[in-house]
A and B are shown apart, each in its own frame.
Chain A
Amino acid sequence: AQSVTQLGSHVSVSEGALVLLRCNYSSSVPPYLFWYVQYPNQGLQLLLKYTSAATLVKGINGFEAEFKKSETSFHLTKPSAHMSDAAEYFCAVSRGGSNYKLTFGKGTLLTVNP
């Protein structure tokens, strides 16, 4: 079985500050890990994914995440928050590629203050 834990249901940062969203996973097989962003009343957009290649993954909009097997973590970071980053962020785990189901964390709402 696979599971994802996102620490902090709500994170608030100032514009220009570091963004750190935490994700820990549990998996009995080597995981594929994903971060998605969701804006209100919209579907999910993929930010980045880890598929057993480089452990530091760079995504869109300046986000990156580092896979740490020893810590079973896949935290999402961005050096400088922008107002447009305010959204819900979901971490997800899968056993493989596109035909395997995703298991999502509960999500973290990011608020960016001016």
Chain B
Amino acid sequence: GAVVSQHPSWVICKSGTSVKIECRSLDFQATTMFWYRQFPKQSLMLMATSNEGSKATYEQGVEKDKFLINHASLTLSTLTVTSAHPEDSSFYICSAGGRAGASYEQYFGPGTRLTVT
């Protein structure tokens, strides 16, 4: 099956610093990647949608200057949380949309736990 990886799986950073999270589709070309945020015991909230080679489309209420998304290739998208604050602490999950074998669906990464101190 299709595999999506995220790195790092867990990161702690100090308030005011920036953190970059990578999302990779390992065995298929992801034409679209999605970034979600999940607070404890809550559902996933879509932050943004990115297509390879173009600017990301952010959901209403998501600060695009704070959450920088780059989708430079068909296998890699990055989310950079700039000037992180404790309220940015959350579980960030990416998904990749595309064709893997005969199936067209979104494949989810394992998530990245961000803690800002």
- Residues of chain A whose beta carbon lies under 8 Å from any beta carbon of chain B: 36, 41-46, 49, 90, 97-107
Q: Of B4, B91, B106, which is in contact with the most chain A CB atoms at under 10 Å from its CB?
A: B106
Pick the residue among A44, A103, A105, A107 that contacts B93 (CB under 8 A). Answer: A44
B80 at interface by CB-CB < 8 Å: no
Interface 1/0s, chain B 102-117, versus A by CB < 8 A?
0011101111010000
CB pair B46–A42 under 8 Å, yes or no, is: no
CB pair B49–A101 under 8 Å, yes or no, is: yes
Which residues, 13 to 39 on B, are CB-close (under 8 Å) to A?
Answer: 31-32, 34
Pick the residue among B4, B105, B111, B113 that contacts A97 (CB under 8 A). Answer: B105
Q: From DSSP, what is the main secondary structure of chain A's interface residues?
A: loop
CB pair A106–B43 under 8 Å, yes or no, is: yes
CB pair A105–B43 under 8 Å, yes or no, is: yes
Interface 1/0s, chain B 79-117, versus A by CB < 8 A?
000000000000101010111000011101111010000
Given that A98-B32, A99-B31, A99-B32 are contacting pairs, would A44 and B43 also be in contact in the complex, using a CB cutoff of 8 Å?
no
B44 at interface by CB-CB < 8 Å: yes
Given the complex, which residues of A lie within 8 Å of B49, measured CB to CB? 101
How many angstroms from the CA of A84 to the CA of B95 in the assembled complex? 24
How many angstroms from the CA of A104 to the CA of B109 in the assembled complex? 16
Given that A98-B104, A99-B32 are contacting pairs, would A90 and B111 also be in contact in the complex, using a CB cutoff of 8 Å?
no
